[in-house]
Amino acid sequence: MSTSPKATYEPLNEQTAIQLAVKLNVFEAATGLSCREIGDGNLNLVFHITESATGRGIIIKQALPYVRVIGESWPLTLERARMESEALQIFARYAPQYVPVVHHTDEQYAITVMEDLSRLKIVRTGFAEGEVYPLLSTHIGEYLARTLYGTSDFALGADARRELALQFHNPELCKITENFVFTYPLIDDESNAVEPGLTELAQELWSDQKLLLEGAKLKQHFMTSAEALLHGDLHTGSIFASDEETKVIDPEFAFYGPIGYDIGLFIANTLLSALARQDDTREQLLHHVTNVWNVFQTRYTELWQTDNQEHFAAVPGYLDYQLQHILEDTVGYAGSEMMRRVVGLAHAKDIEAIQDDAKRLHIKSSAARLARDFIVNRSRYQSAEQIVQALQQADQGVEIGI
Amino acid sequence: MSTSPKATYEPLNEQTAIQLAVKLNVFEAATGLSCREIGDGNLNLVFHITESATGRGIIIKQALPYVRVIGESWPLTLERARMESEALQIFARYAPQYVPVVHHTDEQYAITVMEDLSRLKIVRTGFAEGEVYPLLSTHIGEYLARTLYGTSDFALGADARRELALQFHNPELCKITENFVFTYPLIDDESNAVEPGLTELAQELWSDQKLLLEGAKLKQHFMTSAEALLHGDLHTGSIFASDEETKVIDPEFAFYGPIGYDIGLFIANTLLSALARQDDTREQLLHHVTNVWNVFQTRYTELWQTDNQEHFAAVPGYLDYQLQHILEDTVGYAGSEMMRRVVGLAHAKDIEAIQDDAKRLHIKSSAARLARDFIVNRSRYQSAEQIVQALQQADQGVEIGI
């Protein structure tokens, strides 16, 4: 598969972005439009166009044909723009209130024109600033149950599911996850960013054969199990929210994989923000962890019982088995994600922001111990409350015993 | 996906088959060729063309755009001819000595021109006639290890594996398996063929909630786990053999699925032939069951250790975990296959041939009890010897206790 830009591809600038908006008749008039590029320049251009008369806005997102991930530019398929816009449209079938509206897509230019979410804030940023987003986990639990159940064999039947899975053949982005989440953080790879006070702990992890074995199993399960259409990168940087509203964005890593991966990523990043938080709002973040699972479980159960194409769906024990399997994966993948946020390349912003070295190192080593337990002992977890209990044990420096 | 024949598709007859052979320059001269249609007329036309001067022959196989499976004709994709010929060519990369040579393919006409195997006999037929094929399990064990390991993530790396899996998107044939192997035999479906003396046993199986639960798990694993490129229908009717040679044919059900499925099908059908056999050659068939697993395990281990792209391949316990997982699936899928051969639509020829009612019913109910144990208790099996031990227990009417 080619990773080079197509012949006609050209990056937009603020002027041509406005021209495109006019051409697409997104606004009533062709005048009074202003445009600002608000992307991080790493993977995509993001243009925010607003109409001064009405205050209305739209977003034009354009994929760049490379990613700057380890200092140098690395060519990356423009196909990911198609993955993202198609995934957004599919997720909108199941959970329209939790994804931005897509107005227009152009595969050749790798462009998606979508709803302006500037009234909301990225949750990762909000969490680092002390926000709690009281409805976040209820919304994300609903989103997860509806999109993951909705795209599974149980809801779609195998034929339609297999067809949909073809559309989300996404090898380049899957490979990034396989490397940066599942492989490099568990070995002494040059891409890892381990701060000096943690080198001993990192060495210990990298020679922990039990951790490597269970990490390898999670990796293989990620690579081979086509359970549902995943967002594929559902950390708190992929969620916009306010106190009332929640929108999941950026599903360019979408592919058919294990259901627990999406849930695990949300839980891991919320746990890291909770660990970073020292005031009494920590409890509210921990509540998100139990609540997201409980909401997911309730809605998944309801969908399973009311809209299921599998002949054996009502066999006693089958739904319980599925939920326990998903929980086990959720815990394991939360562990993989936390591990990479401590010793891998991309860290948790709110933990890195802690200036007090002892405090920061304590949090990171608690997170690493917790991550190890999640990976190695994932099958012991029977409830989301136990996830929170394990965090409290890790933070207090006592042995994690679920 | 369209299941109707393409505009230019036309079925061959004995004359046009010869014309095609001449056009393809398969033989040195265009004269002295004779042709016989030897297919069963159910799914495919099979022309055997021989050159009288040299005695050389070839096979021209053409898919028909329907299948007669339950008395009436059922349209079925011609794509399966492409699946079959492409799978044969891929399997030939890994195990050339165990698959027929493909000389030519034509997608439009759904034609595969391949090696004449008339020197060999279909193993199902040979088994029914008392043959034992002393090298069969050594060859099939090699074939299974080489093709299944060779097409896995471990050998190919995830990128190449994902690409190959796309090529074997085979929903229509997968659906046949999902229905006729995994669903109908476990429920009171009209397609089942239960002989009168077994109705009580069948009712018992169909209301056995533990069996249904474990059967459902095996079905879902079959549907979602893309471990390796499977043959997909590896019963003894898909194998040609002599005392010296073995060739695996008819991989039209090829798709990415769980490794244990192929192994389980071979074992199930061999066990059924062993149960049907009352003389002292039964032991030789039972030897095939232990030997096919042991040969598979030995070769898989060697390939794993010498040609592995997975970073964690050498982590202690990982290979053992894989092998135990494959054995568990093998036992479970052997159970699903045996169950459908007793209560489902397509039965085991050699068992049906037994005239003595009491004897035949004893064998069938032993097979059904064994199948149930394989499905329900598959995780208890730690060796292929235990599979044979369970058969002996079932045949002697004692409780199966592995």
Q: Which of residues 62-121 of B touch A (CB under 8 A)?
A: none
- B147: tokens are 């093709």
Please tell me the predicted confidence (pLDDT) of residue A1.
40
Distance separating alpha carbons of residues B276 and A29, to the nearest angstrom: 82
**pLDDT above 70: percentage of residues in chain A:** 97
Per DSSP, the residues of A336-381 read HHHHHHHHSSSPPHHHHT---HHHHHHHHHHHHHHHHHHHHTGGG-
Per DSSP, the residues of B23-91 read HTT-SS-SSSEEEEE-S-SSSEEEEEEEETTT--EEEEEEE-SEEESSSSEEE--THHHHHHHHHHHHH
Query: Pick from A158, A220, A223: which is nearest to B175 by CB?
Result: A158
A4 has a pLDDT exceeding 60 = no
Interface touch B213/A321, C-beta < 8 Å: yes
Per DSSP, the residues of B18-35 read HHHHHHTT-SS-SSSEEE
- Which DSSP letter does residue B244 get? S
Q: Which residues of A touch B186 (CB under 8 A)?
A: 312
A69 has a pLDDT exceeding 90 = no
Could you tell me which residues come within 8 angstroms of residue A94 by beta carbon, excluding any fewer than 6 positions away?
A146, A147, A149, A150, A151
Is some CB atom of chain B closer than 8 A to the CB atom of A208?
no
Q: Which residues of B touch A255 (CB under 8 A)?
A: none
Residue type, A122: I
Query: Pick from B215, B224, B321: which is nearest to A226 by CB?
Result: B224
Average pLDDT over residues A262-286: 96
Please tell me the predicted confidence (pLDDT) of residue A68.
60
Query: Pick from A1, A162, A315: which is nearest to B171 by CB?
Result: A162
Chain B, nearest residue to A216 by Cα: B312
Chain B nearest CA to A393, separation (Å): 29
Interface touch A162/B153, C-beta < 8 Å: no
Chain B nearest CA to A156, separation (Å): 13
Binding site feature residues of B: 44, 61, 115-117, 233, 250-252, 340
Q: How far apart are the first and last CA of chain A?
A: 45
Contact (Cβ atoms closer than 8 angstroms) between residue B206 and residue B187:
yes
Average pLDDT over residues A383-398: 95
CA A312 to chain centre: 31
Q: How many CB atoms lie within 10 A of CB B283?
A: 12
Average pLDDT over residues A245-273: 97
Q: What is the ipTM of this complex?
A: 0.94
Query: Pick from B158, B171, B183: which is nearest to A311 by CB?
Result: B183
Please tell me the predicted confidence (pLDDT) of residue B72.
55
- A114: tokens are 């979508």
Q: Which residues of A206-220 are buried (b: 16+ CB within 10 A; e: fewer)?
A: bebeebbbbbbbbbb
Best to test chain A binding among B77, B151, B162, B192 (most A CBs inside 10 Å):
B162
Beta bridge partners of A45: A62
Query: How confident is the prediction along chain B (402 residues), in pLDDT tens digits per residue?
Result: 444 544 578 999 999 999 999 999 888 877 899 999 998 767 889 999 999 988 899 999 999 887 765 555 677 888 899 999 999 999 999 999 999 999 999 999 999 999 999 999 999 999 999 999 999 999 999 999 999 999 999 999 999 999 999 999 999 999 999 999 999 999 999 999 999 999 999 999 999 999 999 999 999 999 999 999 999 999 999 999 999 999 999 999 999 999 999 999 999 999 999 999 989 999 999 999 999 999 999 999 999 999 999 999 999 999 999 999 999 999 999 999 999 999 999 888 899 999 999 999 999 999 999 999 999 999 999 999 999 999 999 999 899 988
Please tell me the predicted confidence (pLDDT) of residue A3.
46
- A233: tokens are 């990168």
Q: Which residues of A touch B226 (CB under 8 A)?
A: 224-226
Give the range among A219-233, A373-387, B34-48, B295-309 with minimum mean pLDDT: B34-48
Please tell me the predicted confidence (pLDDT) of residue B3.
46
- Which DSSP letter does residue B241 get? E
* Closest by CA position to A114, among listed A84, A139, A77, A151: A84
Query: Pick from A223, A315, A317: which is nearest to B153 by CB?
Result: A223
Interface touch A213/B175, C-beta < 8 Å: no
Q: Which residues of A touch B219 (CB under 8 A)?
A: 312
Please tell me the predicted confidence (pLDDT) of residue A30.
80
Strands B57-63 and B44-51: antiparallel
Q: How many CB atoms lie within 10 A of CB B190?
A: 7
Contact (Cβ atoms closer than 8 angstroms) between residue A107 and residue A80:
no
Query: Pick from A226, A310, A321: which is nearest to B226 by CB?
Result: A226
Q: Which residues of A touch B166 (CB under 8 A)?
A: 166, 169
CA B140 to chain centre: 11
Q: Which residues of A touch B224 (CB under 8 A)?
A: 153, 225-227
Interface touch B224/A225, C-beta < 8 Å: yes
Task: For chain B, give the number of residues.
Answer: 402
